[in-house]
Every structure is written in structure tokens, then in C-alpha cells.
Structure 1
Amino acid sequence: MKQLEGFGKFLESLRGKMSLREAAHKSGLSHAYIRDLELERNRSTNEKINPSPITLKKLSDAYNISYTDLMSKAGYLENEQEPKAESGEQDQVEMADTLFIEVSTKEMIYHTRLGQLSRSVNSLLDFSHFLDQLEEQGFKKMDTDLFVNLNHVQKYVEREGKLYFDPLGVGKYVVIAAIRQKKYHDLLIRSVARNTGKGLEYQYDRNASATESRFSSLKFPS
């Protein structure tokens, strides 16, 4: 991974006259973290930091710059000229059968019912296009580095923020971020109803029962 020399200064130039808080609002990143990226170090620990592909996607959207170019300058696409003729179809099948995907700065881990497999982030010619594919395949971002295939979710435990991939809730599951749970609450209920073949009325009634149960357990002073 060979990053452009002075990459932090390059990010600062992309921000231009935009304030750090405005950049934070547009990207969804904290203004302090954006400044750390521009300085290429964590000001709390003084350690060198590098933005992840997810962070770069947010910055490319905020600064209206090609994501591929930004990934290249960050050093993630140094092997982008290598052929990838056979991997497209393979990745497409994996995405359809995948329950959820974890993304790190170096690899993507596909979790299926049979196990898991990884793909190097460096092997992706256009990570932005890959994210678009995820959306088309029914995936939603449920945490910083977690993408869940809603086509496979069969149980949603609201009080714990858990998504199960079996109706009994005894197998694999993921815990989603509270802000995403609030954002996708209705979508999750509809997805579970569709995937299990049970009507929306049942899902909402069950959800309401769980809520009522929580409130009934509370004791208020007389």
C-alpha cells in the first residue's frame, strides 16, 4: 500500500474553504477525526493514522471527488491494473448467499450459513461500485463496518438490537448500532415479515407485545 506523499495535505486541499464542522456534517465523520486525517496522526496518541475505504467513501461524497481516485491516492488501488476477469461472477454469487459482510481496512469478510471467506480490499478495482452493488443486493449498513443482507434476516430482537438469520433466534446473529436500528426499524420488521412469510400485522403485534412487556415490568412510585 503506497499512499500519496502528503496525503493529509491533499485531503485538506479538497476541503478548501469548507469548515471542519461543515465537512463533518456532510461526511458523517467527526470534525476532530477529519483534522487528524489531514495531519496524518491521532493527536491524542500521536500515532500515524490512515483512513479506511469506508471513510474515504464518505469523504469522496462530501468533497465531490471520484472515489476511485481517492482510493488510488490513498494507496488502496496500487494493483488496480491486475486482471480480475473471473472474480466478478464469483463475488456476485457470494453476495447473494451472504448473511452479512464485515469490512476492515485490509479485507472484507463474507459470512454465510456454511462459514466465512475473505477478500482483499486491495483487489477491488472500484470499491464505490461494490458498495452500490451491496445496496442493489439488499444489504444495509448497520454499523461502521457492518453490512447486513436483509433478504436473510428472520428474527429481529428490538430490545437487544439483534438480527438473527433463523426464525428461532438460536443461530448466527449480529448486533446493530442504535442509530441504525432507529433508522431502519420499520424496514427490519417488513423484511422479517417477508422472509418468514408472516404478515406485517403479526410482526407489529409481536413488537408491541415486547414493548408492553417491558413497560409492565417497570414500577412507579405511588
Structure 2
Amino acid sequence: MKQLEGFGKFLESLRGKMSLREAANKSGLSHAYIRDLELERNRSTNEKINPSPVTLKKLSDAYNIPYTDLMEKAGYLENQNDFASSSQTAMQEPVSMSDTLFIEVSSKEMIYHTRFERISQGVNSLLDFSLFLDKLEEMGFKKMDTDLFVNMNQIQKYNEKDGKLYFDPLGISKCVVIAAIRQKKYHDLIVRSVARNTGMGLEFHYDRQSSADSLLSSVKRPT
């Protein structure tokens, strides 16, 4: 792995006039970690740090720069032609995406969660991994935490207080906990998705005076 000399400065130049906090909001990374990457060291331990492919994907989205460019400059790829040559073998999903409730991802594997099983798939090609992440949104998935993608076509109950998404209307089956920043960003989309998936009109109630869970009360849509 041969990283571009001055890679941290390169990242800083990509950020440009954008503040660290704005970059953090756009990428989902902490502003302190972004600054550490620009300095190429952990300021707490003074150890050299290198961004992972997942981190680079977040920065490429935030800074609007091709993911492959960052991967090459970070030393993960020798050149873009070599990277592109690996695209002949597309990643095959091990389970129907429409049946997948959510996916946990890392640079080494993806874990698909359905109602009845949990399937792990290794990442063999960084290009396939990048293309897969880009395709997820087209298939109705939204990034709800650092490494969590949720199928919006499957959620059926939303507990705003605890930041939980359930995949059944009673909230007794599998659930995921989403990051607060994503909860705020996608609140309206979540509510609309629950309404669509359950076929019910929704009115959101939350009693601030009690410690009771947030509830979604359902009223049949008029026909």
C-alpha cells in the first residue's frame, strides 16, 4: 500500500472552505477524526492513521470526488485501470434484496439480515464493493448509521424516542437502532415509508411528559 505523499494535505484541499463540522455532517464522520486524517496522525496517541475504504467512500460522497480517485491516492489501488479491470466480475447478492431487511457493511464483508436468517458475504473486489454501495439506494436502502443500510420498503414501525426501526407493525421482531443524525435527516421519509408499507395513514404521538415509547397510531385511509 503506497499512499500519496501528503495525502492528508490532499484531503484538506478537497475540504477547501468547508468547515470541519460541515464536512462531518456531510460524511457522517466526526470533525475530530477528519482533522486527524488531514494531519495523518491520531492527535490523542500521535500514531499515524490511514483511512479505510469505507471512510474514503464517505469522504468521496461528501467532497464530490470519484471514489476510485481517493482509493488510488490512498494507496489501495495502483491505478484506476487496474481497478477497472476487476469490474468484469460483478458482486452477486446471496439473497433477494427485496427480502433483505437491512445490511451491515465493512471493507471485508457484508451481512444480510432477512426475517429468518443472517447471511455473510466476503468482499473480494473493492470496485464491486463501491458499485454495490452506490446501487443500494436505487434498491430502496438508506444509510442509517456508519455501516448500516436499511430497506425502507420493509420498515413497519418507528420508535422515535429510542431511534428504533421495526420490521413488523407490533414492534416485536427484529429491529435496528439508527444514528441520531440520520434519524433527524430521514424522519419524514421513515414516517411516509411506514405509512406506505402498512397501508395505513399515520399520526405520530409522543407524550413528552412520560417515559412511554413513541407510538404510531394507525387510521385506515379513506377509499
> Within 5 Å, which residues of 2 pair with 1:112-151?
112-151=114-153
Counterpart check, 1:52 vs 2:52: yes
Deviation for aligned residue 1:55: 2.1
Q: Please give the root-mean-square deviation of Cα atoms over the aligned residues, in Å.
A: 3.1
Greater strand proportion: 2
Structure 1: which 5+ runs fail to align? none
Deviation for aligned residue 1:164: 0.8
Greater helix proportion: 1
Report what 1:190 is aligned to.
Answer: 192
Deviation for aligned residue 1:184: 1.5
Paired residues in the alignment total 205
TM-score normalised by L of structure 2? 0.75
Deviation for aligned residue 1:171: 1.3
SS at match of 1:65: coil
> Within 5 Å, which residues of 2 pair with 1:90-169?
90-91=92-93, 94-169=96-171
The separation in 2 between residues aligned to 1:75 and 1:57, in whole angstroms, is 14
Report what 2:22 is aligned to.
Answer: 25
Report what 2:65 is aligned to.
Answer: 65
In 2 relative to 1, CA 35–151 (structure 1 residues): closer, same or farther, beyond 3 Å?
A: same
Deviation for aligned residue 1:123: 1.9
The separation in 2 between residues aligned to 1:40 and 1:132, in whole angstroms, is 27
In 2 relative to 1, CA 23–119 (structure 1 residues): closer, same or farther, beyond 3 Å?
A: farther
TM-score normalised by L of structure 1? 0.75
SS at match of 1:54: helix
In 2 relative to 1, CA 193–170 (structure 1 residues): closer, same or farther, beyond 3 Å?
A: same
In 2 relative to 1, CA 30–175 (structure 1 residues): closer, same or farther, beyond 3 Å?
A: closer
Report what 1:215 is aligned to.
Answer: 209
Deviation for aligned residue 1:173: 0.5
SS at match of 1:163: strand
In 2 relative to 1, CA 127–93 (structure 1 residues): closer, same or farther, beyond 3 Å?
A: same
Q: Percent identity?
A: 66
The separation in 2 between residues aligned to 1:17 and 1:159, in whole angstroms, is 37
Counterpart amino acid of residue 209 in structure 2: F
1:130-149 Cα distance to aligned partner (Å, 9 max, x none): 23211111111111221111
